[in-house]
Amino acid sequence: MINENNVPDWAEASTILGIAFAITAFLWKWVAESFKNRREERENVIRIAVREAMAEVRSDIENVRKESADGLKHVHQRIDQVFEKLQK
Q: Is residue 40 in some structural domain?
A: yes
Q: Is residue 60 in some structural domain?
A: yes
Domain residue limits at 61:
34-88
- pTM value is 0.47
Using a CB cutoff of 8 Å and minimum separation of 24, what contacts does 4-12 make?
none
With vertex at residue 67, the alpha carbon angle to CA 65 and CA 68, rounded to the nearest 5 degrees, is 60
DSSP state, residue 2: T
Q: Is residue 29 in some structural domain?
A: no
Reported as a single tens digit per residue, the pLDDT across 3-59 is: 555 556 666 878 889 999 999 999 999 999 999 999 999 999 999 999 998 988 888
